[in-house]
Structure 1
Amino acid sequence: MQVFQPDSLKSEIDERVPDLVAMRRDLHEHPEMAFEEVRTSGIVEQRLRALGFEVQTGIAKTGVVGLLRGEQAGSDAKTLAIRADMDALPIHELTTVEYRSQVDGKMHACGHDGHTSIGLTVADILSKKRSELRGNIKFIFQPAEEVVGGAEPMVEAGVMNDVDGVIGLHLISNYPIGRVGVRAGTVFASADKLKLTVHGSGGHGAMPHGAVDPIVIAAHVITALQTLISRETSPFSPAVVTIGTINAGTAFNIIPETAELGGTMRAFRPSIVRI
């Protein structure tokens, strides 16, 4: 069986680093949010087609899939999927780097510009190894990861039907450049979106006794939610509940009718999420 030599592969990667960096910085300058990744998916499609991949577009609106068939792959060959996400976040970038976001209120703050660039670079390298491959490689570029909405429609569209295994990665800023973290078992938790609306009874801020203040209730709810972790969840089953947004009121001296809380729940096991 043909084995890629580490030294040879390292040199092939090094040759592509300038293009990888340029691509990532271009994507960083032009962030697109969930299901809006039109420019990004266009770049992905163009590069995959140029490499000779079989390409499908428009999956889950803006998703792209590229299939590389190994020339030594038989009828019973395995298919490995390599997955990357493409969407940005609704965050205003405050950095001063020359490749900072050119779109107000949108930023690649979670590294998906890097994931997409790495995926395309790996596709480039492996396309040159087509004659040595005994199996097939499917590259999956997923939209809308940040809103937990892109994966399911891609699966429903059948992109995983012939896949025997999947690999992927996630950039993380608390590791130094050049370090790769690998571990057995689960690495990333599930991600569920949480939205709570507290209904009260509005009134004047100077007469709170005549109102039911949803902001005070919301404050107690936020604190109480943490007991789901500390008192309802086993310490051997990691879980997180985070409230990231609080929206209530339109004036400093008025008690509003409602308060809205938005957050996320994360866990490694479905049974914990159901708690």
Structure 2
Amino acid sequence: MVENVYHRLEEIYPEMVELRRDFHMYPELSHQEEITPEKIAEYLKSLGIEVKTGVGGRGVIGVLKGGKPGRTIALRADFDALPIQEENDIDYKSRIPGVMHACGHDVHTASLLGVAKVLSEVREEISGTVVFVHQFAEEATPGGAHKMMEDGCLEGVDVIYGAHVMSTEAFGSCTVKEGYFSSAQDDFHIKVYGKGGHGSEPHNTVDPLVTGSQLVVNLQQIISRRVSPQSAAALTVGSFHSGKATNVIPDTAVIKGTVRTYDREARDIIEQSMKQIVKNTCEAAGAEVEMDYVRDCPSIWNDPEETKLVREKAVKLFGENAVNTEEPMYGSEDFAFYQQEVPGVYFTVGGGNPEIDAVYPHHHPKFKVDERAMLHIGRMFIHLTLSS
């Protein structure tokens, strides 16, 4: 039956492309999705699938009950876009100024809708239940996964699978790794309060800009001196704002950045070290400080037993040499929240193709992927659903 469903997926591929391009032309930012979830819900309803909208806020859930007993499998796709002005010269270029699907969420959504269609046509042959999780606000902090979980999107679910198309991986490849597969994401906001004054009289001030500069340098020592070399981690200051004039020492400095880790111990060490260094550096300079350290999503941790199953299916579909099992996915993903409630596996599918200029990284204004990756995502989801 799996091969027949694959063939059916290929037959509706033009429809999947049409869906994807429509989503691409009319992208919506995180927590502002209105039309996109409506389109998703209407499509699922047209397939005779039970639909719940407004899950966790703007999420959509589709439930397809099979004709035979079995476990309940959830398949997840995200549908929000990014605040980027698209620079691609394509017919389906974004029609919304300053907003673009620059991470492939339109591909994920169309892939899952295609899977929903072909599975709905063979529902009587399906063992168990399939839950289609269409998530909003993956790009935001906090993201939509946690809210959808609180609203019961995983109620009764035994396992969840998720996929991400990657422009940095060659079309026809797949990456699946047991254990840690993405970094945890934490964000920090530091505001230094000094005492401003004239640029010619720095001795009468407490310069928050200089203190902030010391903080930026001091914080870099955490990774090199306090975190084990065996623990991969990154601490990045991405924003530093202070002052407006050449001859004025400002009153405040604002520093913002992000921390990425895999294991929990390194995450704890970095947070504790940052708080200590920020406090001590500012006290030594005579400045006051406020610091917010926000833990966003944890690391994706792929269940070992489920990962074996996913890798087995990937090898069958892509071939042994096309399946990578070593490299984790860089960046963070709030799919990790689902895995704290049920076993799950997140994998990536290659969408890079120099022949169509699909070579730019994610979140780039010229981001592009080979649309045929939708078939690969779809086939993986189908195989995992029908063979479990």
TM range (shorter): 0.7 to 0.9
Aligned to 1:4: 2
Q: Percent identity?
A: 40
1:187-238 deviations in Å (ceiling 9; x for gaps): 1222222222222222344544443333333333233323222222222222
Task: String of CA shifts for 1:32-81, please: whole Å, max 9, x gaps.
Answer: 122111111111101111111111111121111111101112xxx31111
Gaps of 5+ in 1: none
Q: Secondary structure at the match of 2:164?
A: coil
8 Å Cα contact 2:5-2:119 kept in structure 1: no
Q: Aligned-residue CA RMSD in angstroms?
A: 2.1
1:236 aligned onto 2:238? no
Q: Residues 217 and 92 (structure 1 numbering): CA distance in 2 closer, same or farther, change over 3 Å?
A: farther
* AA of the residue aligned to 2:111: I
Superposed, 1:177-188 pairs within 5 Å as 177-188=171-182
Q: 1:247 to 1:114 in 2, by over 3 A?
A: farther
Question: Structure 1 pair 96/128, CA: closer, same or farther in 2 (3 Å)?
Answer: same
- The answer to whether the aligner puts 1:218 opposite 2:216 as a matched pair is no
CA pair 167-92 structure 1, distance change in 2 beyond 3 A: same
The answer (yes or no) to whether the contact 1:201–1:214 under 8 Å persists in 2 is: yes
> Is the partner of 2:73 in helix, strand or coil?
strand
| Aligned twin of 2:99 | 106
1:35-50 mapped onto 2 (5 Å cutoff):
35-50=31-46
Q: Does 1:169 align with 2:163?
A: yes
Partner residue, 2:194: 200
Q: Corresponding residue for 1:155?
A: 149
Amino acid at match of 1:20: M
Residue of structure 1 equivalent to 2:17? 21
**What residue number does 2:27 align with?**
31
Aligned to 1:170, the other structure's residue is in SS state: strand
Report the alpha carbon displacement of residue 173 of structure 1 after superposing the two structures with TM.
1.4
Q: Partners in 1 of 2:206 and 2:93 — Cα distance?
A: 45
1:63 maps to which residue? 59
Residues 97-134 of structure 1, C-alpha deviations (whole Å, 9 max, x = no match): 33333223322222222221222122122212212111
Distance 2:246 2:27 in 1: 35
Bigger mean CA deviation after superposition, 120-129 or 167-176: 120-129
1:143 to 136, 139, 142: 136
Measured in 1, the distance between the counterparts of 2:27 and 2:199 equals 42
Q: Provide the secondary structure at the position in 1 that maps to 2:42.
A: helix
Measured after TM superposition, the shift of residue 86 of structure 1 is: 1.5
After superposing the two structures, state which structure 1 stretch, 254-263 or 44-53, moved more.
254-263
Deviation readout 1:144-189 (Å, 9 max, x if unpaired) = 2212321111111111121110100112211122322222222122
Q: Report which of the two has the higher share of helix.
A: 2
Q: Do the aligned partners of residues 148 and 129 (structure 1) sit closer, same or farther apart at CA in structure 2, a change above 3 Å counting?
A: farther
Q: Does 1:115 align with 2:108?
A: yes
> Would you say the 8 A contact 1:29–1:103 is kept in 2?
yes
Give the direction of change, closer, same or farther, for the CA distance of 1:182–1:200 in structure 2 (3 Å limit).
same
The 1:105/1:221 distance shift into structure 2, 3 A limit, reads farther
The alignment partner of 2:163 has SS state of: coil
Answer whether contact 1:54 1:67 (CA < 8 A) is retained: yes
Deviation at 1:272, TM superposition (A): 2.4
Which amino acid counterpart does residue 91 of structure 2 have in structure 1? E
The 3 A distance-change label for structure 1 pair 80 and 209 is: same
Greater RCO between the two (CA within 8 Å, min separation 6)? 2
**CA 1:270–1:71 in structure 2 vs 1: closer, same or farther (change >3 Å)?**
same
Asked if structure 2 preserves the Cα contact closer than 8 Å seen for 1:28 and 1:108, the reply is yes
- C-alpha distance in 1, partners of 2:238/2:17? 32
1:53 equivalent among 37, 49, 52? 49
**SS of corresponding position for 2:134:** strand
Which amino acid is the alignment partner of residue 172 of structure 1? Answer: M
Q: Which has the higher strand share?
A: 2
Partners of 2:198 and 2:95 in 1: how far apart?
Answer: 43
Q: Which of the numbers 236, 254, 261 marks the counterpart of 2:255? A: 261
